Each structure stands twice: as structure tokens, then as C-alpha cells.
Structure 1
Amino acid sequence: MPLFRLPDGRDLEYEVSGPSIGHAVVFHHGMPGSAVPMPTVLDSITERGFRVITYSRAGYGASSPAPGRSVADSAADCVSLLAYLGIAKYLTVGWSTGGPHALAQAALAPESVTGVLSVASFAPFDAPGLDFVEGMGAQNVAQFSITGQGEQAVRGLVTQMAAAVRNNSPADVVASLASLFSPVDAEVLVGRFGAENAANMNHALASSDEGWVADLMALTSPWGVDITAIKAKVELWHGFEDRMVPLSHGQWLAGHLPTVTPHLQADHGHLSIAIGSLGDKLDALTYTHAVTARDHRPGPGRSDRR
């Protein structure tokens, strides 16, 4: 996958999928995750004529580490990438840990982000009135609770959790991290998505666990941006059966984002709410984007491999 040299000298790994002249959608991956495209997640978007940009946050895949990065820092990297690609207007999509980054990008680049699709997103760690870990599976309670013990403790736990997902089959992952998967999500993971997700995560963790450590520290620190000031329209989706990011997070965001339209789904979990349906969920944002987007003239990155 291509690399973009950021202003501070770091490399940011990315990929562009779909029609070369389609309106742009930036996809922010989960934790752990990478720029490797997953057809079960993205095909419903590209089939609608959108150009999808995926990237690996700092420390994942071939993206250079950025110790101490915040959510806003990662979003700023993505803003720089889109400027490099010559894309002036775009939608952002964030799933799971990608949700805060999609929202942060909208807050940082209000002139560029015309809409946000937030799917099973975390709320801020210090969100008033929210018990961050209530309703999470045991493994997520452990990793979010240990951050108060410092980075060394976080690294120890991430090493254990990475071993449970790196180069393991989807069935083994379900068995190792059973508390995180409701029945509807376990069914999704052992299907076609499971193999794609394994490839995505294996690439993310191929060199080190730095991206996972940085994500966990960033999520449990100040995000560095006020997401409640977002002006772009936000379509928010969250499942009642989500054991990774409990419904209470979606409810908090729905109550505090000024331009949000919430869709809370009783029959979905963390994975099932996204697989094969992101294109449908983007429909509500498409018109707003179409009437504000300008012609996208090729930027320097247009000569990179697709």
C-alpha cells in the first residue's frame, strides 16, 4: 500500500478503493486495525460509486509510530492525507474506535467534512454521566481499566490480547475473547468477514503492538477536540447487543451531538450492525454531500497504486 510522508516526517499508510472519480469517503478503522480494505465492510459503499480512503493509524501496519498521540492527532494526520490527495470535500465513516476519529476529523475540518457516519462508536472516556465500562465484555473492561496503572501495564495486557488475535482463526478469536461477542456477532465473525478481519488485524500487528497501545491510551485520555461542536450532519448507529462498545455510549453521543440522527437497533451487536450495510447507512448523508462537493482535481497521490 502507498505511504504518505506527513509534515513531521512520519509515514502514513493508506489505500484508495472504488471509482477513481467518485465522491470521497474516509473510513476510520477499529482497534486493532489497518488500511487493508475489507470487502464485506466497504463493498456496499464502493458499489454506490464512492471512492473510499482507508489508512493505518500511527503504529499500525507500515504507519510510523507516534507515541502519546491523541484522537485529534490521528484525525489531523487524516486531514493532511486528504489534502495531499487533492480532495476538498468528503464524508467520514468511523466504526468502533474509528468513531471518535471520524467525529474528531469533522470537528477539525468543518469546511471539508460534509457528513459523518458513526457506527458503534465510543463516547469520551470522561463523558459526564457515563460509566465507560459498564456493559462491556470482560476483556474490554480489563483493557480500559488498566490504563490508570500506566503505559507499562497497558503494554503487558495488549501483548496478551494481541496474541489472542494475531494469526489465529476467527473461531479461535471467538473462543479466546468470548465475553466480547454476543451470539449475533459471533455468527458474523465466523463467516466471510472473519477471514477479512483477520487479514486486516494481522497486517496491523505485523511489526509491533504500538498502534494498539497508542489507541488505548488515546481513547482514555482527553481527545483534544470538542466533538459537541461538530456542524456536519451525523448519522449514528448502535446495537443493543454490543458487548465491545455498550449501547450507553451511543445513547450518550446521541444526546450530546447537536446535529445527530440516532438509529438504535435492538437486534444488532458491534459487528452485525456494520457488515454489508454501510452503504445503506450512508444514504441519508449522500444528498448533503452531493450538493456541497466540488470537482476533485487529482492531487499528487493520484499517481499512486490503486
Structure 2
Amino acid sequence: MYDRAGYGESDPNPMRSLKSEASDIEELVDKLQLGPKVYVIGVSLGCYPAWSCLRRIPNRLEGIALVVPYINYKWSSLPSDLVKDDYRKGLLRWMFRVARYTPRLLHWWVTQKLFPSSTALEQNHAFYSDKDLEVLKKTPGYQLFTQKRLRKRSVFDSLRLDFMVAFGKWDFDPMDLPNPYPQKESRVHIWQGYEDKVVPVQLQRFVSQKLPWIRYHEVPDGGHLLVYDGAVCEAILRSLLLGEDPPLYIPKLDI
């Protein structure tokens, strides 16, 4: 694992982009002399760099797993009947505008205590499934998006820049990507929780159906934090590294 720009020990990059994320990964691989190909795992918001790797450096990937990848509602290929009534689309549009034009207001809103705000995510049923809430109780070190972390301006700014790239205008639509591995020389996976309240399972299924060369796995009772489930995490790694396809996570498509 490594710290992307603005996280942990890495310096912020105010000019970060889809292209720079893939370039950073390739440069790191070369600097550490990890070899011609590596495995990449992207989780949640961290999946846009993984998509960029598929687009820009597929020849450097031995395998890649996108775990509960966010959906960018600006992708032109998304069908209107699936997104027109999705409240997440309007919420993300509002957050994107505020993050872009009034970042100070957003920072105040997500850290203030006078009114309820969407940053009270630690125990919020609107964002977390029952399984997610169990994970939070058992994982005291989990602090993503908590007000305590976001009070640090450096943390807030890094998340804001990440958010703006992830949900801004992309220079490609993932659904238009051709199969980079026609000889099955590398493996690509998407892992999605059926009970995920952050990323709609219907949209993830649509993405997987548009890209049949990606192996789609669905965790029946999984939420957005499914990677913190030990059994699921092991299945993700075994599938990526060994090519296993656990029957438990074969989706039962009902749409």
C-alpha cells in the first residue's frame, strides 16, 4: 500500500488528475523496481485511479480489483432511467459545486456541531447498511470522514481535491473501454455489496454488463465497507491472485 498525493506521508498535489494518478502509480512501481507488472486494488473513492490505470497503463497490470467503486453520474453512458430518481445524483452535484466554488463554507459545514450535517457518517443509517454499522463498531480505528479528521484543513483539502477529480468531468467513459486483455493475460474484477447505500447495486450491475470482460462479484449482505470483512477481503485477494470465483459471490441478478 502507498499514500496517494495528500494522504499520509505524501505531499498534496493541487493539480491532481486522472492522468496524474496513473502516472504516480507507474512511477512508484518503477522507483521501487517492482517489475514489469503489478496488482492494483482500488477501494471506493480510490477506484478512479484504478480506472485510470486500466485506461492508461493496462500493460503494467497483472490484475486489478475495483472494490465498491464510486459511480460518476457525469458518465454519458449511464441510462437516464437508472439515475433520474437517484437522490445521490443531486446530492453529489450540490457537493461538487460547493467544493469547487465555496470550499471554506463546505469545511465549516462538515465540521460544525450546531446543525446535523451529512458528515455525521459514523453511525448514519442513510449512508451505512446494518453490516457497515457492525464493521464500525468492531473497527475503532476507522475514522474516514469523521469530523475530528476533517477539522484538519490538510485532510479536508486532500479529500476535496480527490472528490472533485472523482466526480468531475473525465476524459473517458469507463463503459467505452475496450478489453485490454483479449488473451486473458490479466484479470479485472469489480466487487459490490448488495446492501451498499453509497453506490447503488443497480448501477454497478449496469457497468459490469457493459464491460463483460470484467468479472463481477456481489456480496449478498455486503455494504460499502465490505472490504473490512475478513472473509470477503480474503475472497477478493484469492480471486485476484489465484483466479478463484467463489460461488457465494456470484450475483443473483434480479433486474
Normalised by the shorter chain, which TM-score bucket? 0.7 to 0.9
Q: Partner residue of 1:198?
A: 143
For 1:111-122, what aligned pairs fall within 5 Å after superposition? Answer: 111-122=59-70
| Higher relative contact order, chain-length normalized (CA < 8 Å, sep 6+) | 1
Q: Is residue 96–residue 167 contact of structure 2 (8 Å, CA) maintained in 1? A: yes
Q: How far, CA to CA, are the matches of 2:242 and 2:63 in structure 1?
A: 10
Aligned mate of 1:229, from 178, 184, 189: 178
Q: Is residue 194–residue 221 contact of structure 2 (8 Å, CA) maintained in 1? A: yes
Tell me the SS of whatever aligns to 1:107.
helix
Q: 1:229 to 1:247 in 2, by over 3 A?
A: same
Give the aligned residue type for 1:279. E
Q: Partner residue of 2:73?
A: 125
Number of residue pairs matched? 222
Q: How far, CA to CA, are the matches of 1:101 and 1:132 in structure 2?
A: 27
Q: How far, CA to CA, are the matches of 1:83 and 1:204 in structure 2?
A: 33
Q: Partner residue of 1:67?
A: 14
The structure where strand makes up a greater share of residues is 1
Q: Is residue 135–residue 228 contact of structure 2 (8 Å, CA) maintained in 1? A: no
Q: 1:77 to 1:163 in 2, by over 3 A?
A: farther
Q: Partner residue of 2:95?
A: 146
- More displaced stretch, 142-151 vs 83-92: 142-151
- Report % sequence identity: 23
Post-superposition CA distance 1:205-245 (Å, at most 9, x none):
75511111101111122334554235242111111211122
Q: 1:54 to 1:278 in 2, by over 3 A?
A: farther
1:156 matched to 2:120: no
Q: Partner residue of 1:97?
A: 45
Q: Is residue 41–residue 66 contact of structure 2 (8 Å, CA) maintained in 1? A: yes
Structure 2 unaligned regions, length at least 5:
114-119, 181-185, 244-255
1:262 matched to 2:216: yes
Aligned mate of 1:240, from 172, 190, 194: 194
Q: Is residue 94–residue 102 contact of structure 1 (8 Å, CA) maintained in 2? A: yes
Q: 1:142 to 1:179 in 2, by over 3 A?
A: same
Alpha-carbon offset, residue 65 of structure 1: 2.3
Once superposed, which parts of structure 1, at least 4 consecutive aligned residues long, lie more than 4 Å away?
199-207
Q: Partner residue of 2:32?
A: 85
1:185 matched to 2:132: yes
Q: Is residue 98–residue 105 contact of structure 2 (8 Å, CA) maintained in 1? A: no
Post-superposition CA distance 1:89-134 (Å, at most 9, x none):
1111111111222222232211211111111101333222152882
Give the aligned residue type for 1:134. D
Post-superposition CA distance 1:227-271 (Å, at most 9, x none):
423524211111121112221332232123342111123311111
Q: How far, CA to CA, are the matches of 2:211 and 2:220 in structure 1?
A: 21
